[in-house]
Amino acid sequence: MKIGLNILVLLMLFSCSATKKNIAKDCIENEVFKKKYFTSIKRVEDYVLGKGNKKSFQSSLKFISKYTQVSYNKMLNYNNSYAKFEDYEVDKKKWLEWYENNKCSNLK
């Protein structure tokens, strides 16, 4: 009886690990979207750090906001940028989490 139970447990463990591997193989990221998304995040960061230009900053935020939240209310100042770097970091964390959760969804 114990041997049968042990075999059953082993079979269940192997079947679960095989299922996880299949899910990972089925995830096909859209590399074009990925590049544009992460380039947009980089352009926003460059602008916040004083290295980028306003036009690419705004177009990048517009692109990102099509897919996930952008805290425009944190940018209601004379510069139309993040008043504090920490506000940008909070948004960036959300953007990266969103991508990680949606990268297998055939993003376009």
pTM given for the model: 0.73
Contacts of 81 (CB under 8 A, 6+ apart): 47, 48, 57, 75
81 in any annotated domain: yes
90 in any annotated domain: yes
44 in any annotated domain: yes
Please tell me which residue, 94 or 1, carries the higher pLDDT value: 94
How many domains, in total, are found in the chain? Answer: 1
Q: How far apart are CA 68 and CA 61, in angstroms?
A: 10
95 in any annotated domain: yes
Question: Percent of the chain beyond pLDDT 70?
Answer: 77
11 in any annotated domain: no
pLDDT tens track for 37-66? 999 999 999 999 999 999 999 999 999 999
Residue 26: band (very low, low, confident or very high) from pLDDT cuts 50, 70, 90:
confident
Structural domain span for residue 35 = 31-102
Residue 28: band (very low, low, confident or very high) from pLDDT cuts 50, 70, 90:
confident
Q: How far apart are the first and last CA of the chain?
A: 54
26 in any annotated domain: no
63 in any annotated domain: yes
